[in-house]
Chain A
Amino acid sequence: MNIEAQPIRELAVQEITTKTDTRDILAHATKSIRDKRLDGWTLIDVDAHHSEMSSWSEIVEYLDDPIMLHHAREFRSRTGGAPGLSNHMPGIRYQDVGGRIRHQQKLDEPVDDQSVHRDVTLVRRSIEALGMDYQVLFPGNMLALGTHPQPRVEAQLAVAYNRWLCDKVLDQDDRIKSLLYLPLGEPDTCLRIIEEFAGRKGVLGFMVTSVRFAPVHHNCYIPIYRALEERELPIAFHAGPHWADEYTKQLDVFMSMHAISFVLCNMVHITNWIVHGIPERFPKLKPIWIESGLAWIPFMMQRLDNSYMMRPSEAPLLKKMPSDYMREMFYTGQPMETSNMALTEAALKAINADTQLLYASDWPHWDFNPPSMIYDLPFLTEQGKRNILGETAARLFKIPLKPRTAAVGA
């Protein structure tokens, strides 16, 4: 055997840490995009995150309520500098699997550009590394805000966060978009938010955090749905973790809680949404179910269809099967379950994935999906992949498509 004369190259990053640049962490995803020549496709990431807690002291300065602002400021003087008014529980956030997944732990990479907020630079890096044209940005810990014991605080923080996000992030780069936070705990504030922010740069629609104990069909929310339908803006339900309800309290590792909680909340809301006829009342309102994966959808379709056939008197607004309504809704597939590819294919077929599924990375969270997870699915057509990776989102959000180029091997 010959000894190769050419010296081998050592990678600049030997071990990925919290200090590693996003572009180095995602280098393999970037290479995959380049190899597939997906740079000619319209690529839209419908769910990515930033860590709003690192900017919490800035965000609370946008509070209208002077007493809440006072409380938020005073919290900073406490031991450990508590993020005042927030209800997130930092002591049981196991997402990074004990430091095994560094990008979930912290994005502590150097950023030299002082002309924009640090988060803008971090999002730009992930947009470019994942080959995206646009990325829809959501908060992180605020996904738990729907269980805040003080609905007034949820509402005030929602307004403050939305204003901060528009000013500091969305205004700074055309590629960064969002579906802004609706604090369902105060329906009147939701309406004011829609009035204030619809039409703001980068605002594609609005988002309800699914972790909350509120029946989404209640009459108090109906004006919100009407306001969104009138403006032709979608409503997203973003799932999240919740370890304190009676079911999840039985699960004593994060893996178990996450597997159930991120799905259970959207299962409850989609059931109320359909059974109480919201799609019949607002046929042009487009719901997006975010971050519950895919496997739950065919289960719910079969389960609701089966029950409805026996009990149509309990859902008199329905004019077709629950699964028919579900096939008209939009879903992000992340985290996509792929251990049984036959089931994955069945789930995509059940929801008409070619027209209803939206690519979502969930970057920088621990269970993120690179675009190759869609591209590599063996049973999709090229047009199906184009739709899922961006063209369906472009149509949904009224974003222009890029001129077409072909992909290698598609």
Chain B
Amino acid sequence: MALVYVGKQGDFADRGRKVVARGELEIGVFRLDDQFYAYENRCPHVRGPVCQGRILARVEEVLNDDKTSRGQKWSECDTHIICPWHGWEFNLKTGRHPGNPHMRLRAFDVTVKDDEVYIVV
């Protein structure tokens, strides 16, 4: 295993990303709530470039106490990375699909040393 330098912490805005390549392996590195997450840029569906997709909050449906629906809203805690090929969504912190936890992104560890961000490959 090796540490691969991907940039300074300051290079990443909150909800920002860097999608990098090491040989044939493409990895997306994301910053969210001052934590870093890294995933292979390969959707488990049909290998779409998932890390190059849009980042949006999860959509939630709000139910009243009597189980009637009040409508939808943006989640305040869950953020998704969305594969641009077919719209498969994955929680940016867990790498899992919201409705099918068996479908998940391949994760890599991220280490921050002296303000420098590394992925463990």
Contact = CB atoms under 8 A, between A and B. Distances in A.
B73 interface: no
A2 B24 CA distance: 20
B32 to A, nearest CB: 15
B21 A9 contact: yes
Contact of B47 (A1, A32, A99): A32
Interface in B25-69: 26, 41-42, 46-49, 52-54, 56
A10 B4 CA distance: 12
B52 A13 contact: yes
A212 interface: no
Interface string A1-21: 111100111110111100000
A122 B17 CA distance: 29
Interface in B83-121: 84-87, 89, 118, 120-121
Contacts of A11: 19-21, 26, 41, 52
Given A11-B19, A99-B54, A373-B46, A3 B84 contact: no
A372 B46 contact: yes
Interface stretch (A100-108, A193-201, A242-250, A306-314): A100-108
A1 B17 CA distance: 24
Given A1-B1, A4-B3, A8-B20, A28 B47 contact: yes
A13 B84 CA distance: 12
Contacts of B26: 11
A116 B20 CA distance: 35
B53 A10 contact: no
Contacts of B41: 11
Interface in B6-24: 6, 17-22, 24
A25 interface: yes
A14 B17 contact: yes
Given A8-B20, A9-B20, A100-B82, A1 B49 contact: no
A268 interface: no
B77 interface: no
Given A8-B4, A100-B87, A28 B48 contact: yes
A372 B48 CA distance: 11
Contacts of A1: 1-3, 120
Interface string A348-390: 0000000000000000001111101100000000000000000
A366 B17 contact: no
A220 B3 CA distance: 72
Nearest to B16: A14
A410 interface: no
Contact of A103 (B6, B84, B89): B84
A8 B5 contact: yes
Interface residue tally on B, bucketed by range: 20 to 34
The prevalent SS among residues of A at the interface is loop
Contacts of B53: 15-16, 100
Interface string A84-125: 000000000000010111110000000000000000000000
Contacts of A346: none
B53 to A, nearest CB: 7
A16 B4 contact: no
A192 B61 CA distance: 53
Contact of B56 (A10, A32, A100): A100
Contact of A3 (B18, B82, B85, B118): B118
B21 A16 contact: no
A27 interface: yes
A368 B85 contact: yes
Contacts of B5: 3-4, 7-8
Greatest chain A CB density within 10 A among B1, B17, B52 is at B52
Contacts of B17: 14-15
A99 B54 CA distance: 9
Given A1-B3, A2-B2, A366-B87, A16 B49 contact: yes
Contacts of A32: 47
Given A3-B5, A8-B6, A11-B21, A101 B46 contact: no
Going nearest first, the 10 A-B pairs with the smallest beta carbon separation are A16-B84, A4-B2, A8-B20, A11-B19, A3-B3, A97-B87, A9-B21, A100-B82, A16-B52, A100-B87
Given A8-B21, A100-B53, A102-B54, 16 more contacts: A1-B120, A2-B2, A2-B3, A3-B2, A3-B4, A9-B20, A11-B20, A13-B52, A14-B19, A25-B84, A31-B24, A101-B86, A366-B87, A369-B46, A370-B47, A373-B46
23 contacts: A1-B1, A2-B2, A3-B4, A4-B3, A4-B22, A8-B22, A10-B21, A11-B41, A11-B52, A13-B19, A13-B52, A14-B17, A14-B52, A15-B54, A16-B49, A16-B53, A16-B84, A100-B84, A102-B54, A366-B87, A367-B86, A368-B85, A372-B46
Interface of B: 1-6, 17-22, 24, 26, 41-42, 46-49, 52-54, 56, 82, 84-87, 89, 118, 120-121
